[in-house]
Amino acid sequence: MTPVFDTYSAYYDLLYRDKDYVAEVAYIDELLNRYGKDVNDLLEFGSGTGIHGKLLAMKNYKVTGIELSQKMSDRAEKLEGFTSQQGDIRRVKLERTFDAVYSLFHVMSYQTSNADFSSAISNAAAHLLSGGLFVFDFWYSPAVYAQKPEVRVKRMGSEQVSITRVAEPEIYPNENRIDVHYTVFAEEMPSQRHQVFSEVHPMRHFSLPEIDLFAESAGFERIGAEEFLSGEEPGEDTWGVCVILRKS
Ligand SMILES: C[S@@+](CC[C@H](N)C(=O)[O-])C[C@H]1O[C@@H](n2cnc3c(N)ncnc32)[C@H](O)[C@@H]1O
């Protein structure tokens, strides 16, 4: 067993090669324009391997990424307009403010306890002036209850490596938490050398009233909530909801 996103980082970009980061960045750009005014200077919470940050920098945003895993952060491409540094979104203090904070691909659902989630959302507020935006997505409780997490197998491959990832959920109904047990089998080419490793990713799911409670106590008001990417109204079939909070 390795720390979350440690060994995983080596295979992260390949595992999510099918994720449409370009469409996601177009969506975030549209949200920032819809809800904000002259938004340019962005703070990213949980910037991972830096793909959103890089693509937003290519749209002329200035992005500062904070990422807990040093190994994930090290993989981020350095380019003008985007920096990535190791840090914890619950407590990092950059001693400056930004036009907006964003956090994508369920980073906020990794903040599983009330204390952790509350610290992260308050820390977003601390890096914004009044009127600043905090945009993030998270696992949505109504969909988790209606659909129930199940065992999933994902296979991805490149010329260098072939990967099979098994995701097994363990449900904690009284904590709004699912622990996803990942087992990753990687076969390197052409040596056929095998590596098998496991990580547990604890994920919290939230309802909108819960988000509102955390948001209000951190000094935000919620000004939007929709299905991530489609913009549809959240419902029992919406696993990933995106909220737009404005600092009061
Ligand atoms: C599913 S990945 C998403 C990465 C990136 N946002 C993306 O869309 O590819 C979740 C990321 O959140 C990071 N993370 C989780 N908790 C964090 C924390 N407290 N502070 C900083 N990063 C955190 C993890 O290390 C991981 O890189």
**166-191 per-position pLDDT tens digit:** 999 999 999 999 999 999 999 998 89
Does residue 107 have its Cβ closer than 6 Å to ligand 1?
Answer: yes
- Domain residue ranges of the chain, discontinuous segments joined by +: 18-139+204-247, 144-203
Does residue 220 have its Cβ closer than 6 Å to ligand 1?
Answer: no
pLDDT per residue as tens digits for the range 121-139: 999 999 999 999 999 999 9
pLDDT per residue as tens digits for the range 67-99: 999 999 999 998 999 999 999 999 999 999 999
Cis, peptide link before residue 202, omega less than 30° from 0: no
**Which of 18, 68, 82, 200 should be mutated for ligand 1, with most atoms under 8 A from CB?**
68
- How many whole angstroms separate alpha carbon 85 and alpha carbon 63? 11
Among the listed residues 220, 31, 27, 25, the one whose alpha carbon sits nearest the alpha carbon of residue 128 = 220
Residue carrying the six token digits 């809800």? 35
Q: Is beta strand 41-45 parallel, antiparallel or unpaired with respect to 98-103?
A: parallel
**Topology of domain 18-139+204-247, per CATH?**
Rossmann fold (3.40.50)
Residue with CA at minimum distance from ligand 1 atom 1: 105
Position 2 confidence tier, pLDDT thresholds 50, 70, 90: low
pLDDT per residue as tens digits for the range 30-53: 999 999 999 999 999 999 999 999
* 27, two tokens: 């969506």
Sign of the torsion angle spanned by Cα atoms 26, 28, 29, 31: positive
Residue with CA at minimum distance from ligand 1 atom 16: 110
**Which of 4, 43, 107, 121 should be mutated for ligand 1, with most atoms under 8 A from CB?**
107
Does residue 105 have its Cβ closer than 6 Å to ligand 1?
Answer: yes
Does residue 63 have its Cβ closer than 6 Å to ligand 1?
Answer: no
Does residue 106 have its Cβ closer than 6 Å to ligand 1?
Answer: yes
pLDDT per residue as tens digits for the range 190-238: 898 999 999 999 999 999 999 999 999 999 999 999 999 999 999 999 9
Grouping H, G, I as helix, E, B as strand and the rest as coil, residue 79 is strand
**Topology of domain 144-203, per CATH?**
N-terminal domain of TfIIb (2.20.25)
Does residue 48 have its Cβ closer than 6 Å to ligand 1?
Answer: yes
Residue with CA at minimum distance from ligand 1 atom 26: 48
CA of 195 to the centre of ligand 1 (A): 23
Residue 229: its pLDDT value, please?
98
Question: Could you identify the atom of ligand 1 that is nearest to the CA of residue 44?
Answer: 6
Same CATH topology for 18-139+204-247 and 144-203?
Answer: no
Question: Could you identify the atom of ligand 1 that is nearest to the CA of residue 51?
Answer: 9
Does residue 55 have its Cβ closer than 6 Å to ligand 1?
Answer: no
The better pLDDT of the pair 97, 7 is held by 97
Does residue 104 have its Cβ closer than 6 Å to ligand 1?
Answer: yes
Assessment of whether the complete model's pTM goes beyond 0.95: yes
Does residue 117 have its Cβ closer than 6 Å to ligand 1?
Answer: no
Where are any strands of DSSP class E within the chain? 41-45, 62-67, 82-86, 98-103, 128-140, 152-157, 161-172, 177-188, 194-206, 220-227, 240-247
Q: Is beta strand 161-172 parallel, antiparallel or unpaired with respect to 152-157?
A: antiparallel
